[in-house]
Each structure stands twice: as structure tokens, then as C-alpha cells.
Amino acid sequence: MAVFGKGQPKKTFKTIISEIVNRTNDNTMRLRRIEQSAQSINMRMDSIEQNFLEERKNIEKGIAEIKDLLSSHERKITETEKNLQEIVEHIKKMPKNEKLAELEQLVEIYNPLKSNFVTKEEAKKMLEERKV
């Protein structure tokens, strides 16, 4: 890089213009590289932003699905608890072992297959036989 001043050979107007043009061209190329780099960074940022938005949408969708699933399970649990309460109430109303034993004895007493019941005709016949 040449500095204008003492100790340097004198430059002509043409060489100065040429040097200015060369420096301008160098600076223009540097600016283009910087612009391309900035454009590339902007494209990457846009791509990252798109990916981020898509991931966010997917995550929100997943969260909504999980919420729906949790609500469904909560309804099923509530329904199961209600059914269990009904079963417990039904079991509480069922007879105890002592009551079942009493019922068995009554069934045995009145069981037509094991009991010997008398028909009207048989009773009349037995009464007539006693009268004699």
C-alpha cells in the first residue's frame, strides 16, 4: 500500500487512478463476499426458523394428543371407580354366609324331589284308614 508523501517516488495521475480503481475493485469484491456470506447466513437462519416452527407445531400436536389421551384415561378411571362403587354396594347387599345356610336348610325342607308330600287323595285315604 502506497502512502502519499515524502520519500516516495512521484506517481502520475494515471497510476493513482489505476490504484484507486484496483482498491475499489478489491473493496467491491470484499463487499460481494460479505453480502454472499450474509445472504447465506440469512438463508440458514430462515431454514432454522422454519425447522423450529415445524418442530414447535409437532410438539404442540404431540402435547394435544397426550392431553386427549390423559382425558380419555381420566374418564375411564372415573367410570371404573363408579363401577367399582356399584359392585361394592351390590356385594354389601348380598346375603352373608349364615343367611345362605338358613336358605339352604329351607330349600332342603321344601325340596319336592327329596321331600315326601302327600296328595289330597292319599290324605283322604289315610284318614279313612284311621277311621276304620
Query: Do residues 117 and 127 both lie within one domain?
Result: yes
The reported pTM is 0.49
Residues 6+ apart with CB under 8 A from 114: 108
Segments forming the whole domain that contains residue 113: 96-132
Left (φ > 0), alpha (ψ -120 to 50) or beta: where does 6 sit?
beta
Residues 6+ apart with CB under 8 A from 18: none
Query: Do residues 86 and 116 both lie within one domain?
Result: no
Average pLDDT, the chain: 88
Residue 65 CB burial class (10 angstroms; 0-12, 13-18, ≥19):
exposed
Q: How far is CA 59 from the centre of its chain?
A: 11
Q: How many domains does the chain have?
A: 2
Query: Do residues 41 and 102 both lie within one domain?
Result: no
Query: Do residues 89 and 103 both lie within one domain?
Result: no
Query: Do residues 20 and 82 both lie within one domain?
Result: yes
Q: Is residue 33 part of a domain?
A: yes
Query: Do residues 86 and 37 both lie within one domain?
Result: yes
Q: Is residue 88 part of a domain?
A: yes
Query: Do residues 121 and 88 both lie within one domain?
Result: no
- pLDDT tens digits, residue range 81-122? 999 999 999 988 887 888 888 888 877 777 666 666 778 888
Query: Do residues 27 and 88 both lie within one domain?
Result: yes
% of the chain surpassing 70 pLDDT: 87
Check residue 84 and give its pLDDT: 96
Query: Do residues 84 and 120 both lie within one domain?
Result: no
Closest CA to 73 of 65, 30, 128: 65
Query: Do residues 35 and 60 both lie within one domain?
Result: yes
